[in-house]
Structure 1
Amino acid sequence: MEPTSIITQAKRDEEEAAAATCVQEGSSEAPGLKKPRRRGLLHSLFRCLCHEETEPHSDNNNAPLPLEENGALSKIHTEPLLPQLPSNASGKICVVIDLDETLVHSSFKPVNNADFIIPVEIDGTVHQVYVLKRPHVDEFLKRMGEMFECVLFTASLSKYADPVSDLLDKYGAFQSRLFRESCVFHRGNYVKDLSRLGRELNRVVIIDNSPASYVFHPDNAVPVASWFDDMADTELLDLIPFFERLSRVDDVYEQLSQQRTSS
């Protein structure tokens, strides 16, 4: 990444100091999990602003669920996050796929080889977001869309993630998209509660780089390494044979357990 001539050194210093006080989306790491320390300004800024959105509102059916004093979820009936399974996906396993650091990496700083540049308005100012696609993401999404009911589920704001998805998902793999407001804000993290999807859990898989995102359902997870800019990365390509096998099972848990054991 090259420093931009538009932003002064003082401004860069100010941004870096602000970013250091913020927590990147999904940055609470499981014990022993080491992630690169670099944080895109996109995540830092959006995470810094998230305090405006974490309080549940009674008039928002998709707001994060309120928490009890001990951190447990309040027992409140909510409508499923996903619509009824469409006829063209009948019988298919539901695969929930994360966006940032799983499929793409984004930054406010200009990148020479950016695949997309997305304008995002924040507090009345339009920022250009530079997006890099993870290697083999096109082939991965195309094949996944053929085999599964694919759902994009990200803790990012829809104003950023929706236009990125429009450009990224050129084969129409994602049948549904879920954003930050569909997460549960639990003990400082945005958690993707798979029990709220409206699908049988033994037919649901989540692909995510952050264990904090699937802390409620670790047995349903296919963890992936966080990706930033390694253009030699082959993780998505390497996962396709596993998912081809998984698409033929009635219950995902045995295959997922074997995958974790062999990893």
Structure 2
Amino acid sequence: MNEKDYTSLELHTPASLSMFPKAFWGLLGAAWSFIVYFFRKNTRKLIAHQTVRYEVMPLTPISRLRLGQLKKKVLVLDLDETLIHSRHDSGGLLRPAVKPDTPPDFVLKVVIERHPVKFFVHKRPHVDFFLSVVSQWYELVVFTASMEIYGSAVCDRLDKNRGTFKRRYYRQHCKVDTGSFTKDLSFVHNDLSSILILDNSPGAYKGFPENAVPIKSWFADPFDTSLLNVLPMLDAIRFCNDVRNVLQRNKIQHMQW
């Protein structure tokens, strides 16, 4: 076969064969993306179920008697950057702190001002275990500066029909102070000696610093243990008469878990 024959063969090669490498690499890229996504999602699940735990011990008769003589305390919980973090598909509102390719724990679809918005929600490590424990110790209340249509949907997914959150408060229940939303704890409970708030934003509880348990903001760290770290303190404080005395004495308001 001479050079002319080779040229003729190339001219008559089917186009589908010349496109084969491109299709192959496209398929390989899609498969790799799926493997990476699957690995990241299951790695997060594995980390969330790591053996680091706070072991809840049965109460002694004396502790049970002491606890029975006290009012049950109210623990107010913030949502965003405290229990969860979310990003959404509304263009400029996307938060750069979260990697867009991080698999969410669940996706919410809500309509805000007639516009459909999809939220990709990431649960803080150990949040399910945390809620299962503190719900045995406290009356749990959610107080978020987020809109109710979003906050309610997040609460429903965290609650899983267990009745974990006894009450819920949203943006309309906040006060506006110098352009920011603040949370009035006296609106939640009239006895300030029996209420404390776990929140990542000092501005949210600036009117009640003596009732606050600060926690650092969470965005994406899969190894975060802040919710576990705060459990021993929450376990102990339910036995006190006035949460403010304990928090001030230990300067809890100047710490971040």
Would the aligned equivalents of 1:94 and 1:199 in 2 still touch at CA under 8 Å? no
Cα RMSD of the aligned pairs, angstroms, is 1.7
The 2-side partners of 1:138 and 1:192 are apart by 24
2:73 alignment counterpart: 93
Kindly provide the CA deviation profile for residues 110-134 of structure 1, in whole angstroms up to 9, marking residues without a partner as x: 5542011000212322111000000
The 1-side partners of 2:180 and 2:152 are apart by 21
1:154 alignment counterpart: 144
Kindly provide the CA deviation profile for residues 85-108 of structure 1, in whole angstroms up to 9, marking residues without a partner as x: xxxxx9211111100000000001
* Distance verdict in 2 for CA 1:198–1:241, change over 3 Å: closer
Structure number having the greater helix percentage? 2
SS of equivalent to 2:207? coil
Deviation at 1:261, TM superposition (A): 7.7
Kindly provide the CA deviation profile for residues 229-263 of structure 1, in whole angstroms up to 9, marking residues without a partner as x: 00100000111111000111111012212152884
1:224 alignment counterpart: 215
Gaps of 5+ in 1: 1-89
Deviation at 1:142, TM superposition (A): 0.9
The 1-side partners of 2:156 and 2:71 are apart by 26
Give matches, 1:65-84, under 5 Å: none
Deviation at 1:195, TM superposition (A): 1.7
Would the aligned equivalents of 1:97 and 1:151 in 2 still touch at CA under 8 Å? yes
Would the aligned equivalents of 1:144 and 1:173 in 2 still touch at CA under 8 Å? no
SS of equivalent to 1:227? coil
Q: Does 1:141 align with 2:131?
A: yes
Letter in 1 for 2:200: N
Q: Percent identical across equivalent pairs? A: 40
Would the aligned equivalents of 2:137 and 2:238 in 1 still touch at CA under 8 Å? yes
TM-score, scaled relative to structure 2: 0.64
Would the aligned equivalents of 1:145 and 1:172 in 2 still touch at CA under 8 Å? no
The 2-side partners of 1:261 and 1:178 are apart by 23
Letter in 1 for 2:205: Y
The 2-side partners of 1:153 and 1:122 are apart by 20
2:38 alignment counterpart: none
The 1-side partners of 2:253 and 2:106 are apart by 37
Q: Does 1:127 align with 2:107?
A: no
Give matches, 1:1-263, under 5 Å: 91-109=71-89, 111-170=101-160, 171-257=162-248, 258-260=250-252, 263=255
The 2-side partners of 1:168 and 1:111 are apart by 22
SS of equivalent to 1:185? strand
Kindly provide the CA deviation profile for residues 34-56 of structure 1, in whole angstroms up to 9, marking residues without a partner as x: xxxxxxxxxxxxxxxxxxxxxxx
If you compute each CA radius of gyration, which structure gives the higher value, 1 or 2? 2
The 1-side partners of 2:243 and 2:117 are apart by 41
SS of equivalent to 2:224? coil
TM-score, scaled relative to structure 1: 0.63
After superposing the two structures, state which structure 1 stretch, 105-114 or 196-205, moved more.
105-114
The 2-side partners of 1:187 and 1:259 are apart by 26
The 2-side partners of 1:228 and 1:162 are apart by 20
